[in-house]
Structure 1
Amino acid sequence: MNQTTSKHPMSIGMLARETGASVRSLRHYDEHGLLSSGRASNGYRTFSATAIVQVRQIQRLIAAGFSLTEIRGFPDCMLMIEGAAACPETSEVQRKRLASVERQIADLERRRVRLRRMLAEGAAPPLE
């Protein structure tokens, strides 16, 4: 039986190997209350197998642009189910994140147009 399917707690190193997250990231998630760890007799952190799903979902949410503070506010439906797309409680936060990303894209597009003009004209055009 592999360690991740057993009832035995896993070390932070094992959790890192299973998820691809760094040990440093895992400690950071744990310190921010996003993971639940126990302590072995030697004082090292230990995690249950459910932490694998949690870490993968945290990574997915970070990749979508959410901060740890925002993620910490998400209900369990977002943190305990790998690949969870949305919960009714998080739809508004996700809409706000999307609007922010769209504003950033529009700003980058304006910068791109300006830089192209600068290159084509050989001088900086006036600010619009």
Structure 2
Amino acid sequence: MRIGELSRRTGVSIRSLRYYEEQNLLHPERMASGYRRYADPDVVRVQRIQSLLAAGLGTQKIDRILPCMMQHREELRLSCADLYDDLVAERKNLLDRIATLRASVNALDAIIAASPAT
């Protein structure tokens, strides 16, 4: 499939797909004309990239994680044990950022509650 079809099937912009290739996350075949050609497994790969980006991971970490993600029945498993500690640390960082955001929301709620209604 060409890049436009991959974009339609994944809901990801063509620009983002090109960026993923620049970041070494996607490896399309190149046709003689220079057009990129993607395979069906690339749809799943792009969905995984999107999920990892949504989780707050950067493309360098995603580049390390993607080769270690394997489908096992209905769930994903990590096949590279050396990444486990990194992922646990990344999860902790996300939880810390969530706590900071909650504190900011609480502060804003207090200010709003103390402000006269407009």
TM-score normalised according to structure 1 size: 0.73
Aligned CA distance change for structure 1 residues 104 and 64 (closer, same or farther; 3 Å): same
Answer with 113-122 or 14-23: which moved more: 113-122
Alpha-carbon shift at residue 65 of structure 1 (Å): 1.2
What is the match of residue 92 of structure 1?
Answer: 85
Does residue 73 (structure 1) correspond to residue 64 (structure 2)? The answer is yes
Q: How many residues align?
A: 112
Q: Which has the higher helix share?
A: 2
- How many percent identity over aligned positions? 34
Mapped to 1, the partners of 2:105 and 2:11 lie a distance apart of 35
SS at match of 2:27: coil
Contact 1:57/1:83 (<8 A) preserved: no
Instruction: Report Cα offsets for 1:13-64 as digits up to 9, x if no partner.
Output: 1111222211111111111111111212221111222211211111111111
Any unmatched runs of 5+ in structure 2? none
Which residue of structure 1 aligns with residue 47 of structure 2? 56
Q: Could you list the runs of 5+ residues in structure 1 that have no partner in the other structure?
A: 1-9, 123-128
Classify 1:18/1:116 alpha carbon distance in 2 versus 1 (closer, same or farther; 3 Å): closer
Q: Cα offset for 1:113? A: 2.8
State the AA in 2 paired with 1:56: Q
Evaluate the alpha carbon distance shift between residue 40 and residue 99 of structure 1 in structure 2; reply closer, same or farther with a 3 A threshold: same
Q: Normalising to structure 2: TM-score of the pair?
A: 0.79
CA distance in 2, matches of 1:68, 1:83: 22
1:115 to 98, 101, 108: 108
Richer in strand (by share)? 2
